[in-house]
């Protein structure tokens, strides 16, 4: 097997093992040795790719974000060509994002781990900032007359949707379709918030 393919396979083993450990024991239950044991490789091999467990978890988070980001960029651009109210279309587009979620095993566990470490929490916030920037750009085009803070509006949506999607992965008895429908209703109502009322909110 070529070296590049071996390297890719080893990294995949490391990441998969880390997801399993995070789902079982959370951030505190992950060590480089445990990752190696679960992956069935020497711990030195793990260190050859990642200096510590924080970097392994960060890599997982970045991959999850980039997958969602790629899908979302395409989705948001397509919304401008759709009939109907832009807020309805935006909210309904969460259904397509939820399909991706089904294939992102361990995303909720990774997000929880990112929040468990101060250093990782800062990086997690930056990922959500990037997602918010993307949504802000959409809102500025779709609703240019909104008198409030478009970035703050986008950040609230990013936080809320991420939390609901995480709940869909972690709640044992959750009805994911029901949760998704509630998220869509929430986002739709929030985006249709009357501009006149936004103007009257205290600073």
pLDDT tens-digit readout, 29-55: 999 999 999 999 999 999 999 999 999
pLDDT tens-digit readout, 113-122: 999 998 899 9
Q: How far is CA 41 from CA 5, 11, 168, in A?
A: 16, 11, 32
CA 16 to chain centre: 18
pTM, rounded to two decimals:
0.80
pLDDT tens-digit readout, 113-169: 999 998 899 998 898 999 999 999 999 999 999 999 999 999 999 999 999 998 988
Q: What percent of the chain has pLDDT over 90?
A: 66
Note the CATH number of domain 55-193. 1.10.357
Q: How far apart are CA 171 and CA 180, in angstroms?
A: 13
CA angle 85, 190, 196 (to 5 degrees): 85
CA 124 to chain centre: 9
Which fold would CATH assign to domain 1-51? Answer: Arc Repressor Mutant, subunit A (1.10.10)
Looking at the chain, the domain(s) classified CATH 1.10.357 span: 55-193
Looking at the chain, the domain(s) classified CATH 1.10.10.60 span: 1-51
């Amino acid at each position: 097997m070529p070296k590049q393919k071996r390297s890719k396979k080893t990294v995949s083993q490391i990441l998969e093992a880390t997801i399993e450990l995070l789902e079982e024991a959370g951030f505190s239950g992950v060590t480089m040795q445990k990752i190696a044991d679960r992956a069935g490789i020497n711990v030195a091999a793990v260190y050859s790719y990642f200096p510590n467990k924080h970097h392994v978890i960060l890599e997982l988070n970045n991959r999850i974000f980039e997958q969602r980001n790629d899908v979302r960029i395409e989705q948001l651009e397509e919304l401008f060509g759709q009939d109907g109210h832009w807020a309805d279309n935006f909210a309904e587009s969460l259904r397509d994002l939820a399909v991706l979620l089904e294939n992102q095993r361990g995303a909720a566990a990774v997000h929880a781990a990112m929040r468990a470490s101060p250093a990782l929490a800062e990086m997690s916030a930056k990922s959500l900032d990037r997602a918010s920037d993307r949504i802000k750009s959409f809102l500025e085009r779709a609703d240019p007359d909104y008198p409030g803070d478009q970035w703050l509006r986008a950040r609230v949506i990013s936080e809320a949707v991420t939390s609901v999607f995480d709940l869909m992965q972690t709640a044992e008895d959750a009805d994911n379709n029901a949760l998704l429908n509630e998220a869509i209703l929430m986002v739709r109502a929030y985006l249709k918030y009357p501009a006149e009322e936004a103007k009257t909110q205290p600073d």
